[in-house]
């Protein structure tokens, strides 16, 4: 039996229904030796941008021969296309709504995109409302077994890209309430304190290396694990403290700089 490539799986399906399990079952029937890694299934329903950010910040840590399935697909069953993206040796499978493209860029850039148009690689009966099970999961399983990408369908020259985040936009709010911004700390080099303005409020927030560099309960700015500026409360919830959520705009400036040594 052929050795299967690793498959990762991200959706907005949640965990209370059988949707995720059904997709796992389809993969297991086609590629029983494939190892499936669940990236997560709690992306907010229909939030393509949130799913795209999770994929872009997670997939670069997987081996280059991985197959990735992403399904956040509010346009399922419409004229939106189903695609496979080749990037840095990885294969990404999902809807053509921008979900996969930031991850493809993070993996080294898009080599090619193909539209899924091969009935032999999908389930025989394709529901208009469950392409995760009937299209994306079986295609991923076949590709994991070594089916050439060229057999998926024709090359697609115009995949959908999401608009780029605006500087200072809240990209993500994680499980801990940490607020990730579309900013790096490069422009704040040497800053000791940040002046943060959001929703009419102004905050002076120390820029440090990690949460524990400030007393418990205090706000802190730091460079997060993705190399972006994040705001946190040591032992608390920064998103709640600042009353922000993904998509909000935050103005950040260097309020005070450390004296040159």
Per-residue model confidence (pLDDT) at position 188: 85
Q: How confident is the model at residue 258 (pLDDT cuts 50, 70, 90)?
A: low
CATH number of the domain where residue 70 is located: 3.40.50.10790
Q: Are residues 95 and 183 in the same domain?
A: no
Mean residue pLDDT across the chain: 95
Q: Are 69 and 34 in contact (CB under 8 A)?
A: no
Q: Is the pLDDT of residue 43 over 70?
A: yes
For 68, the domain range is 7-151
Is residue 157 included in any domain, yes or no?
no
Average pLDDT over residues 34-47: 97
**Domain stops at, among 121, 151, 181:** 151
Neighbours of 193 (CB within 10 A): 17
Has residue 214 been placed in a domain? yes
Is there a contact between 75 and 95 (Cβ–Cβ < 8 Å)?
yes
As for how many domains the chain has, the answer is 2
DSSP state of 163: P
Sign of CA dihedral 244, 247, 251, 256: positive
pTM of the predicted structure, to 2 decimals: 0.94
Q: Is residue 162 part of a domain?
A: no
Shared domain for 139 and 177, answered yes or no, is no
Helices (H), the chain: 19-30, 48-58, 101-106, 131, 137-144, 238-242
Same domain membership, residue 68 and residue 122:
yes
Question: Of 13, 127, 106, which is closest to residue 138 (Cα–Cα)?
Answer: 127
How far apart are alpha carbons 2 and 31 in whole angstroms? 9
**Pick from 124, 70, 65: which is nearest to 94 by CA?**
70
Q: How far is 9 from 22, CA to CA, in rounded Å?
A: 12
Greatest mean pLDDT among 3-7, 179-183, 252-256: 179-183
- On whether residue 1 sits in a domain, the answer given is no
Q: Tokens in use for 124?
A: 């025989």
Question: Given this model, what pLDDT does residue 168 score?
Answer: 95
The CATH number of residue 246's host domain is 2.40.30.90
- pLDDT, one tens digit per residue, over 119-150 is 999 999 999 999 999 999 999 999 999 999 99
- 226 and 144 in one domain? no
**Residue 257 pLDDT > 90:** no
């Amino acid at each position: 039996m052929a050795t299967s490539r690793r498959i990762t799986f991200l959706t907005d399906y949640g965990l209370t229904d059988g949707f995720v399990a059904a997709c796992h079952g389809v993969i297991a029937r086609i590629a029983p030796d494939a190892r499936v890694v669940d990236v997560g299934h709690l992306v907010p329903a229909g939030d393509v941008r949130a799913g795209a950010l999770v994929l872009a910040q997670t997939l670069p840590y997987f081996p280059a021969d991985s197959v990735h399935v992403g399904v956040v697909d509010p346009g399922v069953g419409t004229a939106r296309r189903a695609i496979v993206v080749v990037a840095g040796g990885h294969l990404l499978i999902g809807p053509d709504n921008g979900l996969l493209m930031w991850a493809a860029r993070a993996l080294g850039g898009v080599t090619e995109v193909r539209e899924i148009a091969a009935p032999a690689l999908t389930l025989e009966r394709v529901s208009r409302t469950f392409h995760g099970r009937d299209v994306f999961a079986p295609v991923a399983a076949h590709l994991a077994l070594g089916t050439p990408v060229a057999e998926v369908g024709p090359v697609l020259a115009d995949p959908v890209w999401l608009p780029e985040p605006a500087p200072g936009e809240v990209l993500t709010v994680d499980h801990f309430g940490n607020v990730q911004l579309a900013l790096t700390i490069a422009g704040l080099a040497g800053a000791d304190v940040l002046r943060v303005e959001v929703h009419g409020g102004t905050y002076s927030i120390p820029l440090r290396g990690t949460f524990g560099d400030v007393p418990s309960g205090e706000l802190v700015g730091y460079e997060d694990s993705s190399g972006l500026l994040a705001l946190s409360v040591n032992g608390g919830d920064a998103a709640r403290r600042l009353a922000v959520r993904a998509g909000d705009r935050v103005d950040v400036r260097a309020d005070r700089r450390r004296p040159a040594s």
